Structure 1
């Protein structure tokens, strides 16, 4: 008789869908919504960007507590609460009489929903179901961010064009509340032993891998005193922040060279498409070769993209830079999740991921405003590229200081 597929891979597919909702309807779709909000309420660009920045800060600030809750309570309850919160946030926006309620809705209920449907939640759950193939599993699930970015914005724009933005965003909220909690309740299972299984679908439980931290509870301040934690947040945070600031300005790099806006948009699409390939590829590499080497691949590819961007004077050179950016940007999230899994006990994985998310969110929040300030001050992005290149070069060198489990018993 044919054997049943390991249930962990079903969870990978479910997590991919949840990530597509959590990030596709927010980060990727926001620019479509922003145009309608600008027409309706005529706010300043700064006020509009407060929605996006506020969502990310909410994700970061709530992540340490959320990580602890994910380690202690059934994950499906937190995910369901988050999806209902997100859906209600979109409904509130559709009924909003002013831009103030729109901003508050994006930051609080939608921001909380993003946090519960993020790489923190997904990687915490999948880290229990996979050990040998953890990086691959998380890398496949992380494709949800790219798929959501491709899928939801054009659908939303079409509905908005045929009706209006309030109908479209209110309908989105209703669909999220009606569908996603049912999916989570039906399919999400916290641990393989809850179904009489073992990680990776093995016949017997494998011995727990040695880690640089025991399963004791660690406060955020205790983590900040650990070398490995500081190295992870600095190295990964620099990579995430670089990818964020480059993505936020990517289309402008082309228009600054006199290219048409559609050619700038193609650069964004190219980076997203490359992410579809490199996300699972980097996850798989994290399972089979040195995690330090994979980390160096990510930081070096992003540093290389900054170097090429800094000398780009034509569109083909921008394409080369975008290709390098796609490698690093597509692989940074599975790398992040795999690196934490290599260094910390699975029983406190959510706690550690939550703490790293807080610090890395602060890195990310700084990036776009800094890029804008550099361009406004110098009328060029060259100083931005060189600054990022220098930071990433230092971070690549610091990778050698990470202490893997075989090197030490305590970080």
Structure 2
């Protein structure tokens, strides 16, 4: 982390030159608004984070259990420790994002994620080699420790920095059209996330789980970092542009609606400390965190949940396809609506459908309830994909968006860490996931209570 913090100050002139906003081309010289390029790059960055997301890890879960000899609860706990640890690092990552800029951070996150995937692909062999060297009867304990280390790195680089950098960058380039841009992004993100388990499952069928991770490591570590360096720019102002591609009228934000301080330009935004003092921040964060917890728990154990319902793996994983269709349509609609209406009712829609969808997942063997789960998870997933990009910049401005998003992302990552362990505990104690899914379906109801009480963002 010290290296990251000092790189912008001590890097040699040639390296600094490569990360100048005008190199290798100047965005303000293009015949169209560069924000649309940022939209495409941001979408690409979030999709590239899938191997570091639970939905990308889920299809590798049973393979890791086989080669390491760990129990499902032990693997879930390793994922829990790794994810919580990575989440605690994200506020620092958010502050570095504000300081170093999105372009450098996206390159570093992509390379980091690629190296992590390569490490995880051979972690079981490393554990076996170390066990033989130490003359241990079993390699399970060492495998557990190595997986914890791998999950820390995987979640920090993938779910954390790659995702956060992409989303916050999009929020800096759009204002009046932010919801529309986020909705367009949500079309591809929702669909990509939903079909990822099916794609990875078939990929594994061709190459095997180990070579699938290695091939993803090459694509992300080299390809994504190169695209990120070429296309990402931190904000329109550094490129001589303005948000939405227009010259906006001066608009003052009265931060007294947030912290009681004097009026300031909206572009400046509020500090992280000011944002953390508001109910709005915690209501939004809890609403998104419940989605992260429940969906992460479900996707991590999706194959086993389907097995309990009497469904084969291919049929269980295929449930994400109709979810993708619903999420895609809803994500775009929510994006358009967020430019025209208050965010509070949109969060309410997400909470209600999440509760219904999670409860219905407990009965996948019933066709009608399986489709209700598709509807609930599809609608809530579409809302989540868009609202995570829209809410923070609307409420708190852009100046400290990375630092504020870092705290929120920490909360989401920690919540996502709890999901697999909670469901694994219910399965181990009660022999099924049913009660665990029912318990998780109550969480969005609690979050809805906070959402109802939060105020409006500036300008609404």
Q: Pairwise mapping of residues 237-316 of structure 1 onto structure 2 (< 5 A)?
A: 237-249=289-301, 255-306=307-358, 308=360, 314-316=366-368
Equivalent residue, structure 1, for 2:71: 44
Normalized against structure 1, the TM-score is what? 0.84
- 2:213 is equivalent to residue 169 of structure 1: yes
Comparing 348-357 with 240-249, greater Cα deviation is found at 240-249
Which of 107, 126, 131 aligns to 1:80? It is: 107
How far off is 1:22 after superposition?
A: 1.2
- 1:401 to partner: Cα distance: 1.2
Distance in 2 of aligned mates of 1:162 and 1:154: 11
TM-score by length of 2: 0.76
Change in 2 beyond 3 A, CA 1:30/1:363: closer
8 Å CA contact retained: 2:349, 2:380: yes
Task: Give the corresponding residue for 2:177.
Answer: 133
Aligned counterparts of 1:122 and 1:324: Cα–Cα separation in 2:
26
Give the aligned partner of residue 355 of structure 1: 407
Give the superposed CA RMSD: 3.2
Instruction: Give yes or no for the alignment of 1:147 onto 2:192.
Output: yes
1:397 maps to 449
Equivalent of 1:235 in 268, 287, 295:
287
- 1:257 and 1:313 in contact (8 A); partners too: yes
- Check the 8 A contact 1:24/1:147 in 2, yes or no: no
Distance 1:50 1:318 in 2: 28
Distance 1:10 1:206, change over 3 A: farther
1:217 alignment counterpart: 271
Moved more, 378-387 or 267-276: 378-387
Aligned with 2:429 (options 358, 363, 377): 377
Query: How far off is 1:354 after superposition?
Result: 1.0
Cross-structure match for 2:396: 344
Q: Which shifted more, 289-298 or 344-353?
A: 344-353
CA distance in 2, matches of 1:175, 1:313: 38
- Residue 5 of structure 2 corresponds to none
CA distance in 1, matches of 2:335, 2:82: 27
Once the two structures are overlaid, the 10-residue window that deviates more, 178-187 or 382-391, is 382-391
> Aligned to 1:64, which of 68, 91, 111?
91
The alignment status of 1:27 with 2:54, answered yes or no, reads yes
Local SS of the residue matching 2:318: helix
Which secondary structure state, in structure 2, belongs to the residue aligned with residue 346 of structure 1? coil
* Range moving further from structure 2, 393-402 or 301-310: 301-310
- Separation in 1, partners of 2:415, 2:205: 36
SS at match of 2:49: helix
1:317/1:294 CA distance change after superposition, 3 Å: same
With over 3 angstroms needed to count, the CA separation of the structure-2 counterparts of 1:231 and 1:259, relative to structure 1, is same
CA distance in 1, matches of 2:58, 2:359: 28
> Which of 171, 178, 195 is matched with 2:239 structurally?
195
Consecutive unaligned residues of structure 1, counting only runs of 5 or more, are none
* Match of residue 34 from structure 2: 7
Distance 1:37 1:260 in 2: 19
Does the 8 A contact of 2:54 with 2:296 survive in 1? no
Equivalenced residues, count: 402
Change (3 A) 1:156 1:374: closer
For residues 62-117 of structure 1, the C-alpha deviation after alignment (integer angstroms, 9 at most, x for no partner) is: 22112112222221111111111112222333454223675155224433321221
> Is the contact between residue 128 and residue 192 of structure 1 (CA under 8 Å) also seen in structure 2?
yes
Structure 1 residues 395 and 176 mapped into 2: Cα distance closer, same or farther (>3 Å)?
closer
Q: Quick one: distance in 2 between partners of 1:42 and 1:380?
A: 21
The CA distance in 1 between the partners of 2:68 and 2:300, in whole Å, is: 23
CA drift at 1:130: 0.4
Q: What is the SS of the residue equivalent to 2:180?
A: helix
List gaps (5 residues or longer) in structure 2. Answer: 1-29, 128-142
